[in-house]
Each structure stands twice: as structure tokens, then as C-alpha cells.
Structure 1
Amino acid sequence: MAALRCSFRPFSSYYYKPSKLFPPTQSPTCKFPNEKLLNPSSHNRRLRRALSALVSEESATGSSSSSFTDSGFKLTYLEGNSWLWEVGGVKLLVDPILVGSLDFGIPWLYDATKKFLKNFQLSDIPEVDCLLITQSLDDHCHVKTLKPLSAKFPNLRVVATPNAQAILDSLFSKVTYLEPGQSTEIEGKNGSKVRICATAGPVLGPPWQRPENGYIVSSSEGQLTLYYEPHCVYNEGTLKDERADIVITPVIKQLLPYFTLVSGQEDAVKLAKLLCAKFVVPMSNGDLESKGLLASLVESEGTMESFKELLSKELPDAKVLEPTPGVPLEVPAV
């Protein structure tokens, strides 16, 4: 399918006030919104219940209220860079790592597994409408997952960065490659549609190389818009005219000596402010059980609390919605 140039409606046409979306005493709906993880065994029980709900018929078909199904977002964090999104009933699987570990083919250097969703498997994923790939490296375009995924869903629609073409062309037949600034439309089995526009992400190589992708995802009615880029690396010039109600981004930096693997903190605040975000959903893509030489060199900078403090000064009306792995987080439209 041919890619289109992005052309979003003015933000004012679907701008809303948080007070209208959630009353002062109400928070976004989660399966277990007020539960605290008191100990590992209770955590595992909650995760089992959450995963059961995730793959149940209700979760797979989106049996929430019609207003949510028409234009709301349901965001399920699968740890690392992986997500399962439901946008107005259209299901998107994002950068999945569901088979084996993450080791980039060099496990002696780096080998990582998930902390919480240890028993979550590819077979637990419901039928999805689209696979969304942001980058070409293994922590986003995970071959050990994509091979069996392509066998399970041979006709799956894929939207990806052209940098991943060498991997994806051998696995999937319905791939749309988007350069930054191009967009495409995905139609779900329920007839709903979402629009996906690529934005410029990090350059993983020499400066003349094509950047990887971030994405702006809009519901069919344009009532709610989400921005996602998993390294908190973005081109400010190309985003200055865009708006996103929801920003999913890392907020804790991951650093190697003299090199930033994943940005966050003040850069995440700047991103949220640039896009006039109403909600920030922080992802902890460095929070994995890892080993190897490279893992021993990675250091974290900043905390969730320091990010919230920075955000409150620059964008005081924005709400931080912290996802629990495996638990759907619902953000309904107005």
C-alpha cells in the first residue's frame, strides 16, 4: 500500500481538557488501579489475572463502552520496547519480544529477559490487525519473535521503518515502509480505522544514514492522538507543528561511557511540552534482567520521581500514567 504524506487536523479540532476526560477524583481505568505490589507472590498472582484478561475474549474484541471502542486507547505494556495497543478496536502489536531472550546474536556481550512477564508467550497474543516496527535492531525487530509470528499470522499487515526491510521482506508479504513524514491507514476487523504517521527517530550509524522511526497514531475520529518513540530521540523541527494527547516515552536515561543509549528526564519533559501532551506514559525499557559485558557498563540516570518533578514545573496540567506490565491501561476519548 502506498504511503501518504502526513496531514493532521489542527489540534484545536480535537483538543480536550483533562477535567472533562477524568473528573478530579477519577483516574484512567486499569484492571487493578489501586493495588500495590506488596510481595513477589502477590505480584505474580496479579499478573496471571491480568494476562488472563489480556487474552480473554473481552480483551481481544474490546467489549468496553461504545465511546471507548470508537476512539479510545487501551495500552498494554509488555516490557522492554514491546506493547499491545487497542485503538478504537484496532489492535496494534508494537516491537514485540515474545520468544527467547534479547541478545542481538551476541549473548556473551548482552543477554536480557523480562522481569515480570516471564511466562507470557507468543501464543498468548490475540489476533492483531497490524505489527508496528520502529527500528531495525533486535530490541525492536526481534527475529526470534517475528519468524513464528509470521507463521501464526501469515497475512498480518506490517508498518515499519525501511531500515528493517532486509528482515521483514523475508517474513511478511503485506509490509508498508514509512519514511518520516509519510502515513498510512489501518482498518481493523471491526471496520474502525487508525492513521499512522512516521516521525524521525534516532540515527543508528553515520549521520547520513536514514533515521529510525517514531510514530503518531490517531484514532478514526481524530479525538485522541498518541506519539511513540522508544529512545526519547526526536527531531524537534519536524514535531513542532504536531500535537499528541498521549506521549509514550522512556523517562530514565540509559547510558554507556560517552554514549546515550536511551534518553529521558529533561528530554522527555521537553518532548511532552513540545507536543502539548495531556498524558505521559513512561516506559521502563531498561528495566530488564540482563547479563554480559555490555550490561555491566550500562548506567541509569534519573528516577520516576525526578521526572515527575521536572514535568510538574514545565507542564503542570499533564498527568503521568504509569503502566503495570501486562495490565491494560485505558485512556478513553471525550
Structure 2
Amino acid sequence: MMVVLCNPLHHLPHKSNTILSTKFSTTLIPKTSIRLNRKDSTFMILDAPKFTNRLISSMKSEKKVSEPSDSFKLTYLEVNTWLWEVAGVTILVDPVLVGNLDFGVPFLFKAAKKYLKNFKLSDLPEVECLLITQSFDDHCHLNTLIPLSQMFPNLQVIANPNAKTLLDPLFNNVTYLHSSKHSEIQTSNGNRVKIQAIDGPRRVGPPWQSHINGCIVTSPKGHLSLYYEPHCVYDEDIIRTKNADIIITPVIKQLVQNLTVVSGQEDAVQLAKWLNSKYFVPMNNGDLDSRGPLTSLIKSVGTIESFKELLSRELPGVKTIEPIPGVPFDIV
């Protein structure tokens, strides 16, 4: 299994594509765009603000090529938004792509993306499926979903049942995943990508709602799987019964006064232990340009660096991949 960092900047000078295996044998990227940290088996990409706005615009023009049936191409688009290409099927996850994020109270809180400020829906590549994991505004973002539904009213949607009242008026082809249920996306060659709903604890959302707050995506042959949960909050008894090669979840805790809204740090390490994971992709979904009275109540605890130290002590074999908005990378 290896990580391949893709470079969509065909119009910029570069020496070579970069292939980063689990042994990190090759590094050929100019101008310090990438820093490889051999000591703790991680890599990250630097100088994001200088070129991320130019990266995403080339994605739409790229022709989709035949991908190995058990591979994941992952692109982070800030907040909780991702593009996942699995065996040639592109899944758009929790898109926040149009306007600001305000949870319906813009006079109290308003947040904007830091890097992909000029992103437009028309910049998206061809998408086969929309995945909505939560009903909250930072996952089920109506400013984005209304114009998206007008562009693609028949788009296949797989969603948390808590979002039903928001999605039913917009899309014609919605499957709501209830506890532990799964749905499938058929690929062009007849293979099927499986998405399974994973229950979380009762402290996420109001008590009358479904407690689904994560999912596991499995490649057609079942050789590679990805666990996604955007709060690093999980049910221990359920997680102990699952396995996932890749984890995408936050590692920096976010507290509103004394209430933990997003977990991370040691909880993220424990998650990797129970899921027997090989790759950890820390999602910094609180890294936004925020303003309003509520921002003074939000406190961050820990850093990505402190998480990597914890992970390297407890699970030295797990590789950390720090994503940069707009830059896709493959896990094969």
C-alpha cells in the first residue's frame, strides 16, 4: 500500500510527479512545496495560500481515467468537505462551497474558508454521488445544496436520516442510511462501492435525532476501507467491532465553554487502535476565518503536531497524511 501525491498543476513548472511510498523512497517536488518528515513517518505540503486557489480550477478539466478498483483519491476542500474518488466513482462529501457558514445565526457566528476562496460549483469535476453525514449546517449546507440540486436534481444522494426534511425538497434520488445499514454506488465497470452508516454516542445532536454520525466506505474488492467521522466522537462498543485502513477525523479538540463539540488528540489515537488503521488523515475543520460574538466562546485544545507525537508513541506504524485544500492524493 502506498500514498501517491497528485499534482494537478499542469501549467506550472515541475520536475516530476511525487510518489511517497510507506518507506518514503522518492521525493521530487520543487520549491519546497512538500516537506517530508522521515522521523515520524508523515508528510505535509507547505505554502498553501500561494497556490491552492489555482489548484482546484484544473480538476474539472482533468479527464477521469481508469483507477485501480481498490484505490482512494482524496481531496480536502476545507470545513468538512471532501472529494473522494473510489474505483473511478467520485463522491462529494458534506459540501460547504457557496457562501459563508453561519448555522442560521449570522449575527452570532459567520465563518469563511481560508484558502479556496474563489471556488465555484462549476469547478467541481463530474460527481456520481453526494454523501451527507449530518444535518448540521457545516455538513448539510443549504447555500451549497440548493444550487447544486438545480444543477443535478437526479444526483444520487446517500444521507443521514436527520437531514431528510432538508434534502427531500431538493433531490429526487436520496437514500437515507439508518443504523448500521449500507448503500452501494455502482461503478462504470459494474463494481460496487459500499457506504455503511456508523452510529455515534448520544451526545452528538439532540436526543430525539438518529445517532448516526460516521460512515465506512469500502472499495469494490474489499481490500481498502475508509472511516470518516467529522467530530472524532464515536461509540466505543461499535468501533471495536470495525476495521478501517484509513481514518479521516479531526485531531484538534474544539470546546464551547466546557462542552466538547469536536474531540481529538488521545481520542483520535484510541480510534486508530480500535480500527487497526494504517493511515490517519487529520482534518482541521476548525481552521476558518471566523467572526461574531460566539467565536470568543470557542477554544481549541491540542495541535496536529501534539497529536502526531501521541500517535508515534502509541502506534508508530500508522502513517499521518496532512492534507492541503485542493491537492488530491492517492492511497493504493
For the criterion TM > 0.5, the same-fold answer is yes
The residue identity in structure 2 corresponding to 1:144 is N
Q: Return 5+ residue gaps in structure 2 as ranges.
A: 4-19, 36-43
SS at match of 1:324: coil
Work out whether 1:126 is the aligned partner of 2:125: yes
Does the Cα contact within 8 Å between 2:229 and 2:249 map onto a contact in 1?
yes
In the TM superposition, residue 123 of structure 1 has moved relative to its aligned partner by: 1.1
Structure 2 residue aligned with 1:108: 107
Measure, in 1, the Cα distance between the counterparts of 2:258 and 2:243.
32
In the TM superposition, residue 50 of structure 1 has moved relative to its aligned partner by: 1.9
Structure 2 residue aligned with 1:260: 260
In the TM superposition, residue 206 of structure 1 has moved relative to its aligned partner by: 4.3
Structure 1 residue aligned with 2:239: 239
* Aligned residue runs from structure 1 range 186-265, under 5 A: 186-189=185-188, 191-201=190-200, 203=202, 204-207=204-207, 209-265=209-265
Deviation track 1:61-112 (CA, whole Å, cap 9, x = no partner) reads 1x3xx5x432210110000011011011110000001111001121111100
Structure 2 residue aligned with 1:50: 55
* Aligned residue runs from structure 1 range 139-218, under 5 A: 139-189=138-188, 191-201=190-200, 203=202, 204-207=204-207, 209-218=209-218
Measure, in 2, the Cα distance between the counterparts of 1:122 and 1:30.
29
Identity among equivalent pairs (%): 56
In the TM superposition, residue 23 of structure 1 has moved relative to its aligned partner by: 5.0
SS at match of 1:185: strand
In the TM superposition, residue 174 of structure 1 has moved relative to its aligned partner by: 0.7
Q: Note closer, same or farther for the CA distance 1:103–1:55 as it changes in structure 2 (3 Å cut).
A: same
Q: Which 10-residue stretch deviates more, 205-214 or 105-114?
A: 205-214
The residue identity in structure 1 corresponding to 2:62 is E
Q: Return 5+ residue gaps in structure 1 as ranges.
A: 1-15
Q: Note closer, same or farther for the CA distance 1:159–1:116 as it changes in structure 2 (3 Å cut).
A: same
Q: Note closer, same or farther for the CA distance 1:146–1:23 as it changes in structure 2 (3 Å cut).
A: closer
In the TM superposition, residue 46 of structure 1 has moved relative to its aligned partner by: 2.2
The residue identity in structure 1 corresponding to 2:61 is S
Does the Cα contact within 8 Å between 2:22 and 2:319 map onto a contact in 1?
no
Measure, in 2, the Cα distance between the counterparts of 1:81 and 1:30.
28
SS at match of 1:296: helix
Measure, in 1, the Cα distance between the counterparts of 2:227 and 2:328.
18
The CA RMSD over aligned residues, in Å, is 2.3
Instruction: Please report the TM-score for the alignment, with normalisation by the length of structure 1.
Output: 0.85
Measure, in 1, the Cα distance between the counterparts of 2:45 and 2:247.
24
Does the Cα contact within 8 Å between 2:256 and 2:297 map onto a contact in 1?
yes
Structure 1 residue aligned with 2:70: 71
Looking at secondary structure, tell me which structure has more helix per residue.
1
Deviation track 1:236-283 (CA, whole Å, cap 9, x = no partner) reads 111212110000010000111121111000111111111011000000
The residue identity in structure 1 corresponding to 2:223 is Q
Does the Cα contact within 8 Å between 1:54 and 1:327 map onto a contact in 2?
no
Q: Note closer, same or farther for the CA distance 1:45–1:174 as it changes in structure 2 (3 Å cut).
A: same
Does the Cα contact within 8 Å between 1:251 and 1:264 map onto a contact in 2?
yes
In the TM superposition, residue 56 of structure 1 has moved relative to its aligned partner by: 2.2
Measure, in 2, the Cα distance between the counterparts of 1:185 and 1:119.
33
Measure, in 2, the Cα distance between the counterparts of 1:30 and 1:319.
20
SS at match of 1:103: coil
Measure, in 2, the Cα distance between the counterparts of 1:17 and 1:240.
26
What is the aligned residue count?
305
Measure, in 2, the Cα distance between the counterparts of 1:107 and 1:114.
15
Instruction: Please report the TM-score for the alignment, with normalisation by the length of structure 2.
Output: 0.86
Structure 1 residue aligned with 2:46: 37
Structure 1 residue aligned with 2:320: 320
In the TM superposition, residue 17 of structure 1 has moved relative to its aligned partner by: 9.6
Measure, in 1, the Cα distance between the counterparts of 2:232 and 2:168.
27
* Aligned residue runs from structure 1 range 20-31, under 5 A: 22=21, 24-26=23-25
Measure, in 1, the Cα distance between the counterparts of 2:124 and 2:248.
21
Does the Cα contact within 8 Å between 1:158 and 1:174 map onto a contact in 2?
yes
In the TM superposition, residue 45 of structure 1 has moved relative to its aligned partner by: 4.5
In the TM superposition, residue 177 of structure 1 has moved relative to its aligned partner by: 0.5
The residue identity in structure 2 corresponding to 1:51 is I
In the TM superposition, residue 26 of structure 1 has moved relative to its aligned partner by: 3.5
